[in-house]
């Protein structure tokens, strides 16, 4: 079973507490999600392979460590996942970006896939699938399935806030996928919101209701 990593770093916890506050407006919410995405990517990229390279400093020739050229892709689940892309690209600017669009069927509560556009070589890339809220896990499970169907074999899920129910569901459906999250919250309520959560992440990012 792949790991669930709850990132307890003080900066992560502080920024997450700030965006939980309902008084925080769109501009600040967006900036903080960007910063959180960056900090979570730092954690999610901990095991990227390194290689030894030679470099000439102004003082000496030395052998040092450099990323081993592993290709990455960032794939947001639309729409709220979009809010995390820029922060990740600030750390990994060469990553390609794919998109997965789904909506939740209001009657069945099941996610429906309506748009999938991925880099052609997705099968050779480590994929960071991003969605700020892991609630029931339905969208994440379908997002991972959509990636696997198209050949992706190395996938990590990055979320800001996760419900225990969603984590369990994703782990059961895709035990090979590690999850990096800033918080494991208490539960889901009857409306499908994470408690205490931060409300609707998409609405708060984009200023809609
Ligand atoms: N999606 C959100 O944006 N917020 C929740 O609490 C649950 C799902």
Quick: pLDDT tens for 91-147: 999 999 999 998 777 787 677 889 999 999 999 999 999 999 999 999 999 999 999
Q: How many residues does the chain have?
A: 209
> Which two three-digit tokens encode residue 52?
């030894």
**ipTM value for the complex:** 0.96
Cα(41)–Cα(180) distance, rounded to whole angstroms? 9
Closest residue to atom 7 of ligand 1, CA basis:
193
The minimum-distance atom of ligand 1 relative to the CA of 202 is 3
Cα(111)–Cα(103) distance, rounded to whole angstroms? 5
Q: Are 135 and 157 in contact (CB under 8 A)?
A: no
The minimum-distance atom of ligand 1 relative to the CA of 194 is 6
Binding residues for 5-phospho-alpha-D-ribose 1-diphosphate: 79, 104, 131-139, 200
Q: Are 121 and 71 in contact (CB under 8 A)?
A: yes
Q: Are 37 and 88 in contact (CB under 8 A)?
A: yes
Residue 163: per-residue pLDDT: 98
Instruction: For the chain, give every domain's residue range.
Output: 4-206
Q: Are 76 and 84 in contact (CB under 8 A)?
A: yes
Mark whether 200 is an active-site residue: yes
Q: Could you tell me which of 36, 39, 30 has the C-alpha nearest to residue 201?
A: 30
* Catalytic pick among 86, 123, 150, 200: 200
Residue 103: per-residue pLDDT: 78
Cα(78)–Cα(99) distance, rounded to whole angstroms? 7
Transcribe 47-90 into DSSP letters: T--EEEEEEE-SS-EEEEEEE----EEEEEEETTTHHHHHHHHH
Cα(87)–Cα(91) distance, rounded to whole angstroms? 7
* Catalytic pick among 46, 47, 52, 108: 108
Cα(53)–Cα(15) distance, rounded to whole angstroms? 36
Determine the topology of domain 4-206 in CATH: Rossmann fold (3.40.50)
Structure-model confidence comparison of residues 36 and 70, the more confident one? 36
Ligand 1: residues with CB < 6 A are 80, 133, 135, 192-194, 197, 200-202
The pTM is what?
0.94
Q: Could you tell me which of 82, 90, 96, 98 has the C-alpha nearest to residue 39?
A: 90
Mean per-residue pLDDT for 184-194? 96
């Amino acid at each position: 079973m792949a790991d669930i990593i709850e990132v307890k770093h003080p900066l992560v916890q502080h920024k997450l507490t700030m965006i939980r506050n309902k008084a925080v407006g769109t501009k600040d919410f967006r900036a903080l999600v960007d910063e959180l995405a960056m900090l979570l990517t730092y954690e999610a990229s901990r095991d990227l392979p390194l290689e030894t390279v030679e470099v000439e400093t102004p003082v000496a020739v030395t052998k040092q460590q450099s990323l081993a050229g592993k290709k990455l892709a960032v794939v947001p689940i639309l729409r709220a996942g979009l809010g995390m892309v820029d922060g990740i690209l600030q750390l990994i600017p060469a990553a390609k970006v794919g998109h997965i669009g789904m909506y939740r069927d209001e009657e069945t509560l099941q996610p429906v896939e309506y748009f999938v556009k991925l880099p052609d070589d997705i099968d050779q890339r480590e994929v960071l699938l991003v969605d700020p809220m892991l609630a029931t896990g339905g969208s994440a499970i379908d997002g991972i399935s959509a990636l696997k169907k198209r050949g992706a074999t190395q996938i990590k899920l990055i979320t800001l806030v996760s419900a225990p129910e969603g984590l369990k569901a994703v782990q059961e459906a895709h035990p090979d996928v590690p999850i990096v999250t800033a918080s494991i919250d208490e539960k889901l309520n009857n409306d499908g919101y994470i408690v205490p959560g931060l409300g609707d992440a998409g609405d708060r990012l984009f200023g809609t209701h």
